[in-house]
Every structure is written in structure tokens, then in C-alpha cells.
Amino acid sequence: MSDDDDSGPVAQGREFTWTNQDFTRIKALIYKHAGINLHDGKHAMVYSRVSRRLRETGHSSFKAYLDALEQQHTGPEWQEFVNALTTNLTSFFRENHHFIELDKLIRSKPPTHEWKVWCSAASTGEEPYSIAITLADALGTEGRFRIFASDIDTKVLSTAARGVYKLDSIKGLSTAQMQKYFLKGKGANAGYARVKPELQRHIEFFTLNLIQDNWALKEQFDVVFCRNVMIYFDATTQRQVLARIHRVMKDQGTLFVGHAENFSDARTLFALRGKTVYEKV
């Protein structure tokens, strides 16, 4: 997710009529279904993204589209609606200090330890692959580790599962990492690189909505990455999600959060152990 912003209602003269009532209704629906708390400065962003759904579905107004959406209750268009309003901003080894800390944590335990890591906002895959590279650098690609990578957005997960990236997007990796974990494309695929199967096999991608209390997670995790997600939730939703994360973590498990996130009011669940690094208590 990104921090893109705009302000005020959209000016007249757009393709579709846009009212404060439309925005309020969309705001309520995305909060209910994804926990995303849109503020009033998001009018232009919401108009732009949801208007694409109007075109795709053939509706002539936001009211008609939203009426049809609510009549469905569930179904593929609900997923498209959520996908449209979920912004994904990510890169390999973003907030690199977390991966330095993860490396230290891995090396602090015997190499026989079986690591289970959950990346709860996988987006297009750069974060879970960065986690996998960190683990593989420490333990080898035959090491005992498993990464569970989830997101609410089905389209970005499809990109993540393919594991194909422009070379420019992975230029921050070392030459050794590039050679060890990626295959460079040739011919029609020149300018791209694919994650090697021996790294990819450690990762399982799946859809998960953090605000729903029916997580299909049977594991207890050593480490959870939940970065730059909570900033889109209000305080009540944050507390609920943190409590659920707490339940699926091992004792003294490590939680990595985003640079703008602070959970000092959740001291009964997590204790601060470093820069945006928390430990389960």
C-alpha cells in the first residue's frame, strides 16, 4: 500500500457523476469488507479506481454499480472492488534494517531450527522473496524454512506467484544474490528475471483478509511481517488484528511493522525490541 493522497471532491465534468454520497457509501463498504479507513482526502483516488469497475461492468453510475454490488453479498465483483481500492507499493529489501535484524535472528538459533514466517501483506512478491533470500543466505536453499505469503488482493498475488520481475526492480540485490536466486530472461524475456524454483518452493501464496476472524492458518510462526498495513486501519481494527496475529505466533516470536506504525498501546501483546521490531509477550 502507498501513501498517495489528494483532497476534496472530484471536479465536475468527469465521465461519471460523483457525489459525496457515493464516496461515503464506498468508504463504508471498503471499511466493512477490508478494514480500510479512507479519509476525505481520497475522493479523486476512489473516483479513478472505482470508475474502472463501472466501465468493466457496464454501469452508468456509481449508485447503480454499488446497488448491484450489495445485492451480490459475495462473489467475484466484491474481490474486484477490494482489489481496486488496495494500493500496493513495495520493493525488494524495502526498510532493509528489518532484513538485517531477521538475519541476526536466524543465525542466533541452531541451523536445524525449522523457521516458519508469515508475510501478511505479500503484494506483488518482493517482500516474501526478500524474506526467502535472507533465510536462504543464512541457511542455504535446502534449509529448513517455510514462508506463508498472503494478501487480500488476488491480482498482486498472481504476480507474486509468477515470480517474474524487471531487472531494474532487483538491481538492489548483490551480484551473488542475483546469480544464486534468479534466472535472467533471454530473447523475448530480455530485461526480466525469474525467481529460481529452489527458492520459490519455500513460499506458499494465498488470499487472506486480515479483518476477518477466520484465518485459515494452522501454523505457529516464529516471525510475522505486517508492514505498512495497519496505517489503513482505525485503532479498533488495529487492536483486533494485532490480537489475531498474537494468537498465531510462537512465544517470543518477532513482529516486523512499518516505519509509520507504533503499537505502544498494545503492550499486553507486544514489546518493542528495536526500530519497528516487536516481540510477542
pLDDT tens-digit series, residues 95-137: 999 999 999 999 999 999 999 999 999 999 999 999 999 999 9
On the question of pLDDT at 264 being above 80, the answer is no
Residue scoring higher pLDDT (274 or 73): 274
**Residue 13 domain flag:** no
Q: How many domains does the chain fold into?
A: 2
Which of 38, 61, 85 represents a domain boundary (last residue)?
A: 85
User: pLDDT digits over 183-210, tens only?
Assistant: 999 999 999 999 999 999 999 999 999 9
Answer yes or no: do 115 and 220 share one domain: yes
- Going from the C-alpha of 147 to that of each of 2, 30, 47, 119, 200, the distances in angstroms are 24, 28, 36, 7, 10
Residues 27 and 125 in one domain: no
Q: Is residue 90 part of a domain?
A: no
Measure the CA–CA gap between 83 and 255, rounded to whole angstroms.
26
pLDDT in tens, 62-87: 999 999 999 887 778 988 888 888 77
Give domain status of residue 188, yes or no.
yes
What is the pLDDT, as a whole number, of residue 62?
95
Active site residues per annotation: 49, 151
CATH number of domain containing 274: 3.40.50.150
What separation in angstroms does the CA of 113 have from each of 102, 156, 252, 253? 14, 31, 15, 14
* pTM (two decimals): 0.82
Q: What is the model's pLDDT at position 80?
A: 87
Mean pLDDT of the chain: 90
Within-domain flag for 12: no
**Does some domain include residue 75?**
yes
Are residue 217 and residue 268 in the same domain, yes or no?
yes
**Domain containing 106: what range?**
97-280
129 lies in the same domain as 199 = yes
Cβ contact 56:127 at 8 Å: no
The domain spanning residue 42 has which CATH number? 1.10.155.10
Q: Residue 272 and residue 13: Cα distance in Å, rounded?
A: 50
Look at residue 12 and tell me whether its pLDDT is greater than 80: no
Q: Is residue 1 part of a domain?
A: no
- Amino acid identity at 277: V
Q: Does residue 68 lie in a domain region?
A: yes
Do both 249 and 173 map to the same domain? yes
